[in-house]
Amino acid sequence: MGRILRAIGKQLRSAGSAWRARQVRLIQAHARLGAKVSVEASCALRTSGAGSLSIGAGTAVKRGCEIIASGGSLTIGLHGFVGTGSIIVARDTIEIGDHALIAEYVTIRDQDHRYGGNVPTAQNGFDTSPITIGDNVWIGAKATITRGVTIGDDAVIAAGAVVVSDVPNGKVVGGVPAKIIGVADESLNALPSDNEIAR
């Protein structure tokens, strides 16, 4: 059975086809995917240990992403988008709300390597803190979200920003480290209903 599943995955990847939710479920038993979730080729969706992964209905995951619940809980809400080459890794908890727009090559990790003392960094374990990302958040290309951060609803994270502290609802942040640089346009905050999306 394992060889058959690997062969199916290889055919899908070589054909450049999107993985269907049913096929992802077969390959990764601890991943729960909603209806009409699309996962493009060359993506890694994995869980390990007690990790759990849930992706809400209507979410699209583009080519080359790594979405990994490495012993932690990782949830992406409804009608989201994860851009090409993005990496999301949960050792503790990552919760991403509905209608989240994550551009290409974004990194979201709820852990840091411990360092110092007489132990090599690679063997020193991790410090972890949960990440919460609200509804209708837009995260620009190549941004980094670090452990322990809460990003409020309707916030915008500028391309290349490194977010190391909480972002209030509706604020635009940018820079390294990210600071508030503006307010999101209120016209962006009106989310379409599920009925409108279905049309």
Name the one residue in this structure whose structure tokens are 């409804």: 78
Q: How far apart are CA 12 and CA 109, in angstroms?
A: 28
Residues assigned a catalytic role: 113
Angle at CA of residue 66, ends 63 and 67, nearest 5°: 115
Token couple for 164:
């190391």
| Cis ω for the linkage preceding 177 (within 30 of 0) | yes
> Which residues, 6+ apart, have CB-to-CB distance to 23 below 8 Å?
8, 9, 12
Question: Beta strands 171-174 and 179-183: pairing type?
Answer: antiparallel
Residue 12: strand, helix, or coil: helix
Q: What is the pLDDT along the chain (199 residues), one digit of tens a residue?
A: 445 445 445 544 444 445 454 444 434 557 788 899 999 989 989 998 889 999 999 999 999 999 999 999 999 999 999 999 999 999 999 999 999 999 999 999 999 998 888 889 888 888 999 999 999 999 999 999 999 999 999 999 999 999 999 999 999 999 999 999 999 875 444 444 444 444 3
With a threshold of 0.75, does the pTM exceed it?
Answer: yes
Q: How far apart are CA 107 and CA 102, in angstroms?
A: 10
